[in-house]
Amino acid sequence: MAKVTYEKDGRIGRITLNRPEVMNAIDDEVPQELADCVARANGDPGVHVIVLSGRGEAFCAGYDLTYYAEGNGNGQATQDMPWDPMKDYAFMMRNTELFMSLWRSYRPVICKVHGFAVAGGSDIAMCSDLIVMAEEARIGYMPVRVWGCPTTAMWVYRLGPEKAKRMLFTGDKIDGREAEKLGLVLKAVPAADLDAEVEALAGRMATVPVNQLMMQKLVVNQAIEAMGLKQTQMFATIFDGITRHSPEGINFKTRAEQVGWKQAVRERDAGTFDWTLNRPINPGG
């Protein structure tokens, strides 16, 4: 079964993340399947706009930590140990480039977020052109607390430096209302209205000729790329590998193998574990 599906619906190409049993978590195959679906939409002159969504309870809960964090007991995540930083970079830049197929798509992409778009799932969402969220949905990049750096680096380009730092210094998840207030997403609406809101926007955009949509997207994207997007992504992707293989990163992975990734993530996100000293934080100091 495809982990990312594609169908054409009139002038709309619909791409759907299709691992609902794990909240559409990202494994080794999802990025390539996503890019393949983008290519199908771009290869069809009858498609004017793409709607990207997730099947099930969430848009995307990030990388599949059952495999990447909890897994094998030898410190391995993307390769056999000892760590080769350039091999790690090549693997993660592959995923970054595949996510960026949404950014490079000649057809504009609307991302519909319900449930969660967190960690690597927020990377996918923010490579889209427009994000519409349910008000109660949550978005954030919690691995900045330990074991991750957002490789697409889209936070700063969407939010500006201070608000990006607010998100990346805390690893907080924020709901759709706050995401709209910060300017991270186009709009947040009640969950019951999410489908209708996205369909109205996609329908309106679909009445514009393909070449007009393409030209306007290229102009806006070029302005961002001229700010050094490619170089920023290179640093972010290198740093992502370093975070996972720093002393704190190795301690996090060891903890995940010992107690399960869900507990390790709870401790990380709550700030109750000292990953440098590899022990719970003493509230008294």
**pLDDT for position 285:** 57
**pLDDT for position 66:** 81
**pLDDT for position 81:** 73
Q: Which residue type sits at 2?
A: A
**pLDDT for position 69:** 61
81-90 per-position pLDDT tens digit: 788 999 999 9
Domains and CATH numbers, the chain: 4-280 (3.90.226.10)
**pLDDT for position 79:** 60
**pLDDT for position 78:** 55
**pLDDT for position 75:** 46
- Residue 13: both structure tokens together: 């190409």
What share of residues in the chain are helix, strand, coil (percent, to 5)? 50, 15, 35
**pLDDT for position 65:** 84
Do the beta carbons of residue 253 and residue 67 sit within 8 Å?
no
Do the beta carbons of residue 131 and residue 111 sit within 8 Å?
yes
| Backbone angles phi and psi of 260, in degrees to 5 | 95, 145
**pLDDT for position 284:** 65
Q: Which residues of the chain have a pLDDT value below 50?
A: 72-75
